[in-house]
Amino acid sequence: MQQRTIGNRQVSAIGLGGMPMSIEGRPDEERSVAAVHAALDAGVTLIDTADAYHRDANEVGHNETLIARALKSYGPGADGVLVATKGGHLRPGDGSWTQDGRPEYLKEAVKASAKRLGVEAIGLYQFHRPDPKVPYADSVGAIRDLLDEGVIELAGISNASVAQIDEANAILGGRLASVQNQFSPRFRSSEGELGHCAKLGVAFLPWSPLGGIKSAPELGSRHAAFNEVAAELGVSVYQVTLAWELALAPVVVPIPGASRPESIRDSAGAAELALTEDQVARLSAA
């Protein structure tokens, strides 16, 4: 598996997003565990989760617990996996999403996440989404404190603008390791943030890199160029999409969500798929 860098860690160029394993429409846990094991078998060493990846109000951290279980049952081969989790985004249990960026809340959320993951220090912790009720500097300041105290090993932010990337990096003393924003052929409004991360050398982790759970099946029909290149290469349109994202900048590490072993196996293959400059240009222009 091709490797990329997040902070001081080398990880697989393709990660695994755990969200589909724990929200509405989720499969039984055994299939999700099998998907995590398939990812590890394919060389994936980055798994993305969050305390908000759950369905019901009384199961906060469902996905963190599930990921921890899957890694433990895999055995020693999972030791080098970087688990990235997030805090500051909440699900009350009615299908809605809310924010809580208060420093005191984030510091308690980190402790709860570490306990569910079964770790002394969280490998990568990301502030999930800005809270309009709390100054951004205060929220990121809490992440800085956690980094300074060794509660987390790497710090990141999610759903951030270019200005927020710079503000966070300054608050963290130049130690911003990652930015996790939505990016896909369907959603390109984070191109500016991707390019900015490339200039800074900060990892850019596209979430919903295939367009999201509901829209991914329509990727080929919505974006003809991706379908054409997939036919040229004899691979899935999903592999082409992830390979295109990897080709945009060396800091890009897509984290496609999956809950089926066959899905993550296909996605992992994108790390070894070589696109020509012409193909990348055609896809970028689509």
> Which residues belong to the active site?
53
Contact in structure between 32 and 259 (CB atoms under 8 Å): yes
Report the 3 state secondary structure along 5-23. EECCEEEECCCEECHHHCC
Alpha carbon 58 to chain centroid, angstroms: 24
Contact in structure between 167 and 136 (CB atoms under 8 Å): yes
- The closest alpha carbon to 253, from 44, 76, 42, 27, belongs to 44
- The closest alpha carbon to 269, from 252, 279, 256, belongs to 256
Tell me 58's DSSP state.
G
Give the Cα-Cα-Cα angle 163, 251, 216 (nearest 5 degrees).
90
